[in-house]
Amino acid sequence: MSAILLTGGAGYIGSHTALALLRAGFDVISIDNYSNSNDEALKRVQKLAGRNLQSLQMDIRDEPALTALFKQHRISAVVHFAGLKAVGESTEQPLAYYDNNVAGTITLCRVMQQAHVKRLVFSSSATVYGDAKTMPIAESAPRSATNPYGQSKLMIEHILEDLAASDPAWSIALLRYFNPVGADKSGQIGEDPNGIPNNLMPFISQVAVGKRTELSVFGNDYPTKDGTGVRDYIHVVDLADGHLKALEYVQQHTGIDAFNLGTGVGYSVLDMVQAFADKNKVPVPYRIVARRPGDIASCYADPGKASQLLRWQAKLTLDDMVQDSWRWQQQNPHGYQE
């Protein structure tokens, strides 16, 4: 039987997708260089699923190792999560970002082409919309980038578009994630950021658990309902399900298509703080501070295309997001590190 290859399968979104794929009966191979993850995540995934997958330590830029992998296994499609994702770090280390993300994707695609495996689901991001002028954002909105991380995603989208145009056998889905949050209901797997979290939800969780004293809310003078930034938070379990639907889609269609994976609903920073504190009955002290450079006021998806073509819709609620994030944080105050 053929398998689905996940690159970056031990990461936050990769591990939840691995679990969803195993539960749906797929055979799964994960490759990861563990630069931002721990193989404990996939051990837990296998326990939760009651089935094994094959996980290998490998860098997507290692062309000989990748080539051997494609020779050894029958792979029907690739879900490509591997990459670096910290915006601030990308401005300090642009070469590392272009090398991992862009060069890594080129290597992966070259090996796939040689192996005649031409079905690809790629982790893109709402960051490719830059500072969008109209909300909600449809896939046809203009694209731009404001930092090397975003630029790397945009460059990869262009490269994949050119690849699909060069050879009609390719079948590619660009999944533009909005703001992934939450964790599997078991509390066994979740987001395990290195050091001080950049993103809102892991920061809130670490304040609630007492690891950090207070949340800094970056600005309350945006043109939004309460002045704080508005985002489209999407539960990672819904996101994982979106990958299953995208895999079905690339089996049935050729060419390239972009899909927003979001709920279509925007919540402010203060909405998130309040929902977390109320639902989990835990205080989340916060202070309003200056805006974070590069932040935008609002960003939320028009998820209509994914609903129509992938037959995918987010089902989980804000309560699920804050409760599941909290369960993971409480059960694993130090993440995957014992």
- 11 binds ligand NAD, rule: CB under 6 A: yes
- 312 binds ligand NAD, rule: CB under 6 A: no
Task: Rule CB under 6 A: choose which of 45, 269, 277, 321 binds ligand UD1.
Answer: 269
Nearer to ligand UD1, 215 or 258 (CB): 215
Residue matched to tokens 């078991």 = 186
- Whether 267 and 233 have beta carbons less than 8 Å apart is answered as yes
Task: Rule CB under 6 A: choose which of 36, 55, 127, 151 binds ligand UD1.
Answer: 127
Of 201, 227, 202, 187, the closest CA to residue 318 belongs to 201
- 16 binds ligand UD1, rule: CB under 6 A: no
Residue matched to tokens 């990459």 = 83
- Whether 218 and 257 have beta carbons less than 8 Å apart is answered as no
Write down the catalytic residue from 12, 98, 149, 233: 149
- 190 binds ligand NAD, rule: CB under 6 A: no
Window of 21-29, 33-41, 247-255, 285-293 that interacts with ligand NAD by CB under 6 A: 33-41
- Our answer to whether residue 267 is catalytic in this structure is no
x/- contact string, 68-97, with ligand NAD (CB under 6 A)?
Answer: -------------xxxxx------------
x/- contact string, 147-186, with ligand NAD (CB under 6 A)?
Answer: ------------------------------x--x------
153 Cβ contact list (under 8 Å, min separation 6): 101, 124, 125, 127, 128, 145
Task: Rule CB under 6 A: choose which of 12, 97, 98, 203 binds ligand UD1.
Answer: 203
Distance (Å) of CA 249 to CA 7, 169, 211, 252, 311 = 19, 14, 42, 5, 9
- 13 binds ligand NAD, rule: CB under 6 A: yes
Residue 336's binding partner out of ligand UD1, ligand NAD, none, with CB under 5 to 8 Å set by partner kind: none
Nearer to ligand UD1, 104 or 197 (CB): 197
The footprint of ligand UD1 (CB under 6 A) covers 85, 87, 125, 127, 149-150, 179, 198-200, 203, 215-218, 229, 231, 269, 292, 294-295, 299
Residues carrying an active site annotation: 149
